[in-house]
Structure 1
Amino acid sequence: MTDLSTAPTRTEQGRTLGVVALGTFLALLLFTTPMPQLGALAVALGAGPAAQTWVLSSMSVGLAAGMLVTGVLGDDHGRRRVFAAGAVVVALTSLLSVATTSSLVFVLARVGHGLGSAALISCGLGMIGHTFPAGPARVRATGVWGASVGAGIALGPIAAALLADWRLPYLVTAALGALTALATRAVPESTSGDKRRVDLPGAVLLGSGLSVLLVGLVTGRSGWTRPTAVVALALGVALLVAFAAVERRSPAPLLDLGLFRRPDFVAVTVAALATGLGVIATMSFSPTLLIRGLGEGPVAASLGVLLWSGTSVPVALLARRLRWSGDVQLAVGLGVVAVGLLLLLDPSGVWALLPGFFVCGLGSGVLNAALGRQAVASVPAGRGGMGSGANNTARYVGSAIGVTVFAVIAARPTPQGVVSGWEAANVVTAAFSVLGAVGVLLCLRRSRA
C-alpha cells in the first residue's frame, strides 16, 4: 500500500491511468446503452410507460446514492479495493440484465450498475489525485479521464443500436467489468493515510435521501400531485436535511461541510450541477426527439450523442494546452455548451442539429477535463475520493433533475408536440448552463478578493 509520502513511479502512473480510464469508460458506456434500446427492451420485458421511465432513470439513482460513499470509503480504506469491488458489481449486475425477463429485475440491475459505476468514477479520480502530483502531469491525466467519459458516452448508444440483440451490450459490459477488476491487480493500493471509522449514519441518510428524492422526481413526471411523488420528494428533502445536521456533528463526516466555504469547491460543484441540468439533460432526450419527433431509426438517433461526445474526446485531451485556470475553463465550457444548446433550436432534421451537437461537444470536452481536475484540486490532499464523489453526485443529481424538467416540457403525444417541446426545453437547459457559468465566475471573483 502506498501513502501520500511515496512518489509513484512512471510505470505505476501509466498503469493507474490506463485502469482508471477503462473503468470510467465502462461506467459511461453502461450509462448510455439503453437510450436507443428502449423500444426493444419494452417489448422483451413487457415494460409499460412507467417501467420505461425507470429503465432510463434507475442507474442515476445508484450513481447518486453511491458516489460520495464509495469515494470516501476508497480514501479511508483503499481506493483500488473499492474500485475493484465496483467493477465486480458492474460485471455481476450486467449478467443479471442479460438473464432477466422481468422489467422490475432489470431496473434493479440498473440501480446495481449505478452503484458499481459510482465506485469506478469516484475512486478512479481519487487514484489519479494520489498518483499524479498537482501540476502538468495531473492536468494531462485528468484530460485522459475526461476523454474516457466522452468515449463511453459516445460509443454506448451507437454500439447498442448496431448490435442485433438488446442483451448483447450487457454481455460486453460484463466482460469489461471482469477485465477491469483483474487489471486492478497491476495498480498499487493507496489511501489518505487517515483510516477513519465509517460514517454509517451519514452514508445511510445520504444514500436513502438521494434515492428517495430521485424516486419522487421520476414518479412525478406522470403527475406531480400523486401522493407517491409528493411523499417521496418531501421525505427525500427531509433525509438530506437530517444528513447535513448529522455531518455538522460527526467527528469523521462523510462530507466535510466546511468545503463549502472554499470558492474553488463551490465553483466546481456548481459547474457539475449545471452540466447535469443542461447538456446531459438535452442529450439524454435527443434520441427521443429523433425517433418519436423526426421518425429516425435507432442508429440515426444515436448519431447526435456520438457527435456530441465524440467531439469531446479530443477536446478533453487537448484542454491541457489551454493557459486558463481550471475555474475559467469551467465557465468557458459552460458558455460554449449554452451556445450549442441554442443552436439545437431548429430540429427540422438530423443535419440541421449537427452544428449544435458539435458545439456542445467542444464545450463538454473542456468541461470534462476541468471537472476532473478541479474535483481533486478543490479538496485537501488525500481526499480526492471525497472531492470526486461530491462532484459527480452533483452532476448526476443535476442530470436527474434536468431530465425530469426536460421530459415534463418536451414529452408530448404527437411528433409535432415533441419537436415544439424540444425547442422550449432547450431554452431552459441553455439558461441552466449560463447560470452555471455565472456562478463559477462569481466564485472565481470571490477567491481573488
Structure 2
Amino acid sequence: MTTEYQSAATPRRWWVLAVVCMAMFMGVLDSTSVYAALPVIAIDLGFAPAEVQWVITAYGVAIGGLLLLGGRLADHLGRRRMFTIAVGVFAAASLACGFSPSPEVLIAARVAQGVGAAVMTPAGMSVLMQVFPDGPDRNKALGIWGGLGGAGATVGLLLGGVLTDWAGWAWIFFSNVPVCLIVVALCPVLLPESTRSTQRLDVPGALAATAALVLALLALFHITAHGISPFALMLCAGASVAAALFVVIELRSSAPLVPMRIFSSRTLVGGNLVIVIAGIAVDGLLIVVTLYAQQVLGFSALHFGLAMAIMTVTSVLGVVAGQHLVTRTGFRLVASWGMILLMTACLLLSRLSVDGTLVEDLLAGLVVFGAGMGAAFVAGQIAALTGVAEHDSGVAAGLAETGFAVGTTMGAGLASAIVIGVATRASTGAPSASELTGGLAAALVVLAALAAVGALCAAVLLRTSRAATSRSVTLS
C-alpha cells in the first residue's frame, strides 16, 4: 500500500469497509440461510433424506478447506484482483444454485460458491488491513467485520425463512447476485491494489493444507451421520498424515504458505483459538435452538427466524461495546468476558423443557449469547490480526477466517452428534420430544464447557496491555 493512498484518501477507507463487508455478509448469510430451506429443497429437487445435508456440507468443506490458499493467492496475485474475481465467481455460482434442476447440480454449485467465498473472505480482510493501520480505526473496522460474522449467521436464519416462505428457496441464492454485481462495479473505483509478492507460491503446502482440512471436515460429517466407522477412521488418518506433511513442507519451504514464525505471536495464537471456539459455540447453539424451536416447540421457519432476531440485536450491541472496550482495555478482558457470557448463555439454555416457550426457555439465553458472541468475535479478530506484517496480512486473514469456518463447521457437527447420540440411546425407536430435549440439553452443556476453555485460552494467551492494540509488532 502506498503512503499516498493512506494519507490522501483516508476518508475512502470507510467506503472500502462498506464494499468489502457487503460481499462478506453475502458469504456468511449463505452459510446459514439454507438451513430454513432444506426441507423444501429436498422435496423440489428429489433429494434422498440422507443426502440433503450435502447442500450445507459441500459449501462448508469447500470454504474451510481452501481459505488458507485463498489468503495466500491474495498476497501473491493482488488483493483487489483476487477479491473482485472471487466475488464474480460467488455471483455466478449463486445463479447456478438458484437455477439448479437436480441435486447433483445444486451440490456442485454450492462447492463453487464455497470456492468463491474461500478467496473472497481472506482477500477482503487483507484489503482492510491494507487501508487501516494498527490502531483504533482498525479495531473499529475489524469490529464491524467480526460482528458481521456472528450477526450474519443469525440474520441468515431469518432471511432464509422469509425468502423461502414468500418467494421460494431459489431466491436465497438469487438475492446474492445484485449485491455482488454492485461490489464488482465498485472494486476498481474504491479498492487499492496491493504489490504482488515476488516469491513463488507454495503449491505443495497448499495441497497438503487443503487435503488436511477437507479430510478432517469430511470425517467430522461422516461421524455425525454414521458414527465411528472404518471409513471415518481412514479419513481421520488421512487428515493427520496430510497435516504432518504440511508442517514438514512449511518448515523446509523458502516461501511457505503459512510461515511457522507467525505462530511465535501469542496474541495471534490466542486470537485464533478464541475465534475457533466461539465459532463452535455459535453454530452448535444454532443447530440446538433450531431443533428445539422447530421440532419440539413447533415453530415455523419464519417464526423461528424472527425469534433469532433477538440474538442478532444483542450481538450488534456486543460488537459495538466490545470494539470500544478492546481499544481501551485490550483484548484479554473483552475476549475472556465474551467467552464467559457464551458459557453462561449455554447453561441458561440447557434448562430447556418439552412444553417450553420463547420467553421462558429461550429469551434470556439468546440475549446473553448474542452479547457474548459479538464481544468474543471482535476481540478474537483484532487480536489475530494485530501486529502482523503487511506481507503476511493475507495469510493472517486466511488463518482467522479458516478458524471461523472450521469452528462453525465443527460446532454444527459436534452438537448434532451429541443430540443424536443422547436422544437415540434413550429411545428404542424415533426419539420422543422429551428424549430429543435431553439430547439438546446435553449438547448445550458441552458447548458451555468449551466456552469455559475459550475463556481460559483468552486469559492465558492474550496480552493485557492496551498498547498491544495500537502498535505493530512485525512478525519477521
User: Do Structure 1 and Structure 2 share a fold, with TM-score over 0.5?
Assistant: yes
Which residue is 2:427 aligned to?
Answer: none
Q: Does structure 1 residue 320 correspond to structure 2 residue 323?
A: yes
Q: Does structure 1 residue 69 correspond to structure 2 residue 69?
A: yes
Distance of 1:357 and 1:151 partners within structure 2: 12
3-state SS in 1 of match to 2:323: helix
Distance of 2:183 and 2:341 partners within structure 1: 34
Structural mapping, 1:191-340, within 5 Å: 191=194, 194-322=197-325, 323-340=328-345
- Structure 2, unmatched stretches of 5+, are 424-429, 467-476
- Residue 449 of structure 2, aligned match among 431, 435, 439: 431
3-state SS in 2 of match to 1:379: coil
Amino acid at match of 2:135: G
3-state SS in 2 of match to 1:382: helix
The Cα shift of 1:378 comes to: 4.7
Distance of 2:199 and 2:307 partners within structure 1: 45
Amino acid at match of 2:19: V
Distance of 2:337 and 2:291 partners within structure 1: 29
Task: Tell me, yes or no, if the aligned pair for 1:25 and 1:151 is still in contact at 8 Å.
Answer: no
The Cα shift of 1:197 comes to: 1.4
Q: Does structure 1 residue 399 correspond to structure 2 residue 408?
A: yes
Indicate the larger mover: 229-238 or 84-93.
229-238
CA RMSD of aligned residues (A): 2.1
Which residue is 1:442 aligned to?
Answer: 460
Tell me the TM-score normalised to structure 1 length.
0.94
Change (3 A) 1:355 1:280: same
Distance of 1:64 and 1:7 partners within structure 2: 32
Amino acid at match of 2:369: C
Indicate the larger mover: 181-190 or 293-302.
181-190
Indicate the larger mover: 42-51 or 355-364.
42-51
Change (3 A) 1:110 1:91: same
The Cα shift of 1:200 comes to: 0.9
Which residue is 1:421 aligned to?
Answer: 439
The Cα shift of 1:445 comes to: 6.6
Amino acid at match of 1:129: M
The Cα shift of 1:230 comes to: 2.2
Which residue is 1:113 aligned to?
Answer: 113
1:119-161: CA deviations, max 9, x gaps? 2221121111110111111112112212332442232221221
Amino acid at match of 1:46: G
1:1-46: CA deviations, max 9, x gaps? x447852512331221111111111111111111111211111122
Distance of 1:283 and 1:4 partners within structure 2: 44
Task: Tell me, yes or no, if the aligned pair for 1:23 and 1:87 is still in contact at 8 Å.
Answer: yes
Indicate the larger mover: 188-197 or 126-135.
188-197
Task: Tell me, yes or no, if the aligned pair for 2:341 and 2:371 is still in contact at 8 Å.
Answer: yes
Task: Tell me, yes or no, if the aligned pair for 2:80 and 2:192 is still in contact at 8 Å.
Answer: yes
Amino acid at match of 2:378: A
Which residue is 2:36 aligned to?
Answer: 36
Task: Tell me, yes or no, if the aligned pair for 1:64 and 1:393 is still in contact at 8 Å.
Answer: yes
Task: Tell me, yes or no, if the aligned pair for 2:78 and 2:196 is still in contact at 8 Å.
Answer: no
Q: Does structure 1 residue 171 correspond to structure 2 residue 174?
A: yes
Amino acid at match of 2:342: V
- Residue 343 of structure 1, aligned match among 348, 352, 359: 348
Amino acid at match of 2:264: R
Distance of 1:410 and 1:334 partners within structure 2: 22
Q: Does structure 1 residue 362 correspond to structure 2 residue 365?
A: no
3-state SS in 2 of match to 1:335: helix
The Cα shift of 1:264 comes to: 0.6
Change (3 A) 1:193 1:332: farther
Q: Does structure 1 residue 188 correspond to structure 2 residue 197?
A: no
3-state SS in 1 of match to 2:298: coil
Change (3 A) 1:301 1:319: same
Change (3 A) 1:438 1:378: farther
Residue correspondences, number: 447
Distance of 2:464 and 2:62 partners within structure 1: 34
Distance of 2:241 and 2:385 partners within structure 1: 29
Sequence identity (%): 26
Q: Does structure 1 residue 7 correspond to structure 2 residue 2?
A: no
Distance of 1:29 and 1:133 partners within structure 2: 28
The Cα shift of 1:65 comes to: 1.4
Distance of 2:272 and 2:323 partners within structure 1: 21
The Cα shift of 1:62 comes to: 1.5
Distance of 1:115 and 1:204 partners within structure 2: 14
1:24-78: CA deviations, max 9, x gaps? 1111111111111121111112222321222232221122112111112112321
Task: Tell me, yes or no, if the aligned pair for 1:80 and 1:187 is still in contact at 8 Å.
Answer: no
Change (3 A) 1:152 1:278: closer
- Structure 1, unmatched stretches of 5+, are none
1:261-289: CA deviations, max 9, x gaps? 21111101111111122222211342222
Distance of 2:270 and 2:412 partners within structure 1: 22
1:354-402: CA deviations, max 9, x gaps? 1111111101111222233222215223322211111121222122222
Distance of 2:461 and 2:384 partners within structure 1: 15
3-state SS in 2 of match to 1:334: helix
Task: Tell me, yes or no, if the aligned pair for 2:159 and 2:305 is still in contact at 8 Å.
Answer: no
Amino acid at match of 1:166: W
Indicate the larger mover: 172-181 or 17-26.
172-181
Task: Tell me, yes or no, if the aligned pair for 1:286 and 1:304 is still in contact at 8 Å.
Answer: no
Task: Tell me, yes or no, if the aligned pair for 1:3 and 1:192 is still in contact at 8 Å.
Answer: no
Indicate the larger mover: 133-142 or 421-430.
133-142
Task: Tell me, yes or no, if the aligned pair for 1:192 and 1:382 is still in contact at 8 Å.
Answer: no
Query: Larger Cα Rg: Structure 1 or Structure 2?
Result: 2
